[in-house]
Amino acid sequence: MMKTELLAPAGDIEAAYAALYYGADAIYLGLKNFSARASATNFDENELNEITAYAHHLKRKVYVTINTVLQEHELPDLVKNLDICSKCKVDAVILQDLGVAHIIQTQYPEIQMHASTQMAVHNKEGALFLKNLGFSRVVLARELTLQEINDIASIEGLETEVFIHGALCYSYSGICEFSAIEYGKSANRGKCLYPCRACFEQQGDGKHIFSMKDMALEKDILKIKATSLKIEGRKKTALYVGAVTDYYRQILDGKNPDKSKAANIKQIFSRPWCKLHVLGKNKDVVDLDFVGHRGLKIGKIENISKGKLIFTPTHSFGRFDGLQIDVEGQEKPFGFSIQSIRQNGKNVFEAQKNIAVEIELPRGYPTLKKDMNVYLASSSKVKGTYNYAKPKPKEFQNKTNVDVKVEVFEDKIVANSKGFSFEVMGVFEKAKDLNKVYDAFLKSFQKTGETAFELGIFELKNPSGLFVPASIINDLRRGLYEKIKPDLKQGTLSYLPKPLESQKTGWVIKTDNLHLLDELELELFNEIIYLIDDKPDFERLSTLPFEKIRISLPTVCRKPELLMPSIQKLMDLGFKKLEVANYWGLQIIDSKIYDVSFAPFIYTLNTEAMMMACNINARRISFAMEDTAENIKELANKAFLPTSFIVYQDVPLFTSAVCIRKNDCAHCDGEPKWISLSKDGKHFEALSVPCQTMMFDKLPFCAASVAKDVHASYYQMDFCYKPYSAEQVKEIAKKLMTFADVEPSLKGNLFKTGI
């Protein structure tokens, strides 16, 4: 049985060393670009080369995250990154973009592909599709239950990776566009501003209703049958990484969870802990009142007297450590550094647990009340606990073997390697001991120093048996090695098919309620896309033009078996056109038989992704909702398969498996519910359906005025999720088809140059 891998984050090389020292079997890290943690320090080529060589020396692994979506102009830099990954012998690349996958498959077959959690794999079907596409591992969505995880982990020939500790997103990763659409900073491009962590007003009450607690599965990791157990935290310090890795290493090694080490983690960095849905549906996963680091809870306020805080700690702490207190009405806990401690009437440097302490509060402290929680948020003792060893700089390097051939003539010596040659002139005498001559050459050429290669096969031809002084041998070696350039695989971009010839464009309408089409002149539309659930409206569907219907599958489908009877009935009725928004949909159909189009959540922001779409037999792709007009126009001009530009949509800012309702599951009526929210003058609407929450801006996205300059095959308008009337749809459609915007509306990133 394969040993379960403990996978730790490395936002910089120090965190990498800490992770490896404390027992990580593998680390994952990002390069300077195309990383979903763009604000982490990340690695340059030399650091990557050094850490992979060191990890491989320890028989550990290194995975590089190129887990963002890329625009067309970024493809040359992507190839350079993959060149570096190949040269540095990384064990796998974790990716989101199908374009990255296409280049790896065609140019870098030596690199294994891991499907990032950004690919939103949340069911067995999605995992199977990616396995068949060539991925050796899938990183599963965090929202899954233990049963779902273990079911996917049972797929033969596919590795699975599961998050076990760290920060959580409210949304399924990869299908969150909140930061991108509203604030111009895309989570899918590593620049998320985390707007979900903010306070939202609901009927005058401000709460952090989307701010998640941290995941901490602790001993429950032993129930998980996945290949790899992953710690989140590429933006965390080496101290944090070392502490968390050490904690889970001991659990995996069969020891009971160490309460003191768990306490250490909480003092370094921690929001309140939860297990999300791993052990079943869980509504206690949001930190409603506070955001950010809290610390280790060590007591409650017993009294405030003359600027002194009095409480009985459950954990020892020292002078200059940091305390935090939950203060009602403040988003973040009130924190301060301890300047003095009194216990038993005496000043002490370290407070003992279970004895009342008196702490001097800083000037300007807020109103504090009895029973407020007190946390130990920073500890000098803990900071000194997790030291780690690391190699000397440049002690470990990935090197390429080079074979060297040397020939000795009476008036010169010549060295050749990899097509490079160097010679040194001289006059040489007969040698007394040819073995010593050979050893001198071999010893010299084994000194490769800080070059990117090391000596492979060495061959010496010395037919006259001549002696060569060491100084001349060393000159020969240095001269040859200065000429040799390290092998760097120079990948190239795909040769693109000829762009589609100019054709007349058409209009497409999409809806989840077919009665919204009642007032439309359907002959004006080339296609009607119907987003189905497990109870499609077969009666109304039968009245529509059959040849115009395309069936759309939902992005998130935790139980495809519930949807399959409806899908099968639609197939039996002869519907051959389908739209998919997640990889699970591609597994349940034969794309060679059916006309398959991609919805925006199968991101296509570059021509390499378009090439992969062709390989998957997609007949049409949709431009990403968060993309810029500049990139969309370039792709449209290069497009070699039909494209769809969505000009109107209520953009799902995120989709979550966390319920927004205040009631417990037992008292849920199961009916859809709209909840109005506001933040900083922006107004939002959350749609709550059983076990799922979707977020929308009150305003629609509209790009009709931009569309007239985009040479797309189809212009599309969407009327899904939100309640419309047939009359409203008619009026909006009429305006859009004149390339006039519906105002007020969102423009997303259309007029930006970068996201």
Tens of pLDDT, residue by residue over 168-206, are: 999 999 999 999 999 999 999 999 999 999 999 998 899
Q: Give the DSSP H/E element, type plus range, for residue 404.
A: strand 400-408
Whether omega for the bond prior to residue 744 falls within 30 degrees of 0, making it cis, is: yes
152's CB contacts (< 8 A; 6+ apart) are: 121, 123, 124, 127, 138, 140, 144, 160
Query: Which pLDDT tens digit goes with each residue over 415-474?
Result: 999 889 999 999 999 999 999 999 999 999 999 987 888 899 999 999 999 999 999 999
| Residue 667 burial class via C-beta count within 10 angstroms: exposed 0-12, middle 13-18, buried 19 and up | exposed
Angle between helices 13-21 and 238-252 (to 10 degrees): 20
The mean of the pLDDT values for the chain is 95
Tokens, residue 285: 């996963």
Amino acid in position 355: I
Residue corresponding to tokens 């399959």: 564
Question: What is residue 40's predicted lDDT score, i.e. its pLDDT?
Answer: 76
Q: Can you state the percent helix, strand and coil of the chain, rounding each to 5?
A: 30, 25, 45
- What does residue 407 show for φ and ψ, rounded to 5 degrees? -120, 135
| pLDDT bracket for residue 311 (50, 70, 90) | very high
Long-range contacts of 442-451 (CB under 8 A, 24+ apart): 444/470, 444/473, 444/474, 444/476, 444/477, 445/404, 445/406, 445/415, 445/477, 447/477, 448/399, 448/481, 449/481, 450/394, 450/397, 451/399, 451/481, 451/484, 451/486
Question: What is residue 38's predicted lDDT score, i.e. its pLDDT?
Answer: 74
pLDDT at 749 exceeding the cut of 90: yes
Question: What is residue 615's predicted lDDT score, i.e. its pLDDT?
Answer: 96
Nearest to 722 by CA among 702, 703, 683, 694: 694
pLDDT at 317 exceeding the cut of 80: yes
Residue corresponding to tokens 């791993």: 278
Amino acid in position 239: L
Question: What is residue 185's predicted lDDT score, i.e. its pLDDT?
Answer: 95
Residue corresponding to tokens 């109870």: 535
pLDDT at 499 exceeding the cut of 90: yes
Contact present, 528 and 550 (Cβ < 8 Å): yes
The number of angstroms, rounded, from the C-alpha of 720 to the middle of its chain's C-alpha atoms is 28
Collapse the DSSP code of 204 into the 3-class scheme (helix H, G, I; strand E, B; otherwise coil) and give the result. coil
Question: What is residue 231's predicted lDDT score, i.e. its pLDDT?
Answer: 98
Residue corresponding to tokens 């300007």: 364
How far is Cα 651 from Cα 427, in angstroms, rounded to an integer? 81
Contact present, 624 and 693 (Cβ < 8 Å): no
How far is Cα 46 from Cα 196, in angstroms, rounded to an integer? 36
Angle made by CA atoms 29, 69, 79, in degrees to the nearest 5: 70
pLDDT at 48 exceeding the cut of 90: yes
581's CB contacts (< 8 A; 6+ apart) are: 552, 553, 554, 555, 598, 599, 600, 601, 602
Angle between helices 629-638 and 607-615 (to 10 degrees): 50
Least confident range from 133-147, 275-289, 441-455, 505-519: namely 441-455
Query: Which pLDDT tens digit goes with each residue over 679-702?
Result: 999 999 999 998 899 999 999 999
Question: What is residue 43's predicted lDDT score, i.e. its pLDDT?
Answer: 95
In 232-352, at which residue ranges do the beta strands (DSSP E only) sit? 273-274, 296-300, 303-305, 308-311, 317-318, 322-325, 334-337, 341-343, 346-348, 350-351
Least confident range from 2-6, 39-43, 568-572, 640-644: namely 39-43
22-45 as b/e: b if 16+ CB within 10 A: bbbbbbbbbbebbbbbbebbbbeb
pLDDT at 150 exceeding the cut of 80: yes
Mean pLDDT of the 508-532 span: 98
How far is Cα 549 from Cα 577, in angstroms, rounded to an integer? 7
Query: Which pLDDT tens digit goes with each residue over 76-124?
Result: 999 999 999 999 999 999 999 999 999 999 999 999 999 999 999 999 9
Contact present, 285 and 276 (Cβ < 8 Å): yes
Mean pLDDT of the 629-650 span: 97
pLDDT at 1 exceeding the cut of 90: no
All domains of the chain in start order, with CATH: 5-168+213-274 (3.20.20.70), 170-211+652-659+666-699 (no CATH), 296-383 (2.40.30.10), 400-483 (no CATH), 506-651+700-736 (3.20.20.120)
If you ran DSSP here, which 8-state letter would residue 630 be given?
H
| pLDDT bracket for residue 2 (50, 70, 90) | confident
Amino acid in position 302: E
Least confident range from 292-296, 661-665, 686-690, 723-727: namely 661-665
Neighbours of 680 (CB within 10 A): 10
Give percent of the chain above pLDDT 90. Answer: 90
Give percent of the chain above pLDDT 70. Answer: 99
Mean pLDDT of the 218-235 span: 98
| Residue 747 burial class via C-beta count within 10 angstroms: exposed 0-12, middle 13-18, buried 19 and up | middle
Question: What is residue 728's predicted lDDT score, i.e. its pLDDT?
Answer: 98
Contact present, 175 and 651 (Cβ < 8 Å): no
pLDDT at 328 exceeding the cut of 90: no
247's CB contacts (< 8 A; 6+ apart) are: 257, 258, 261, 262, 264, 265
Alpha-carbon dihedral 259, 263, 264, 265, rounded to 10 degrees: 100
Tokens, residue 16: 């990498």
Nearest to 510 by CA among 740, 729, 744: 729
Question: What is residue 486's predicted lDDT score, i.e. its pLDDT?
Answer: 63
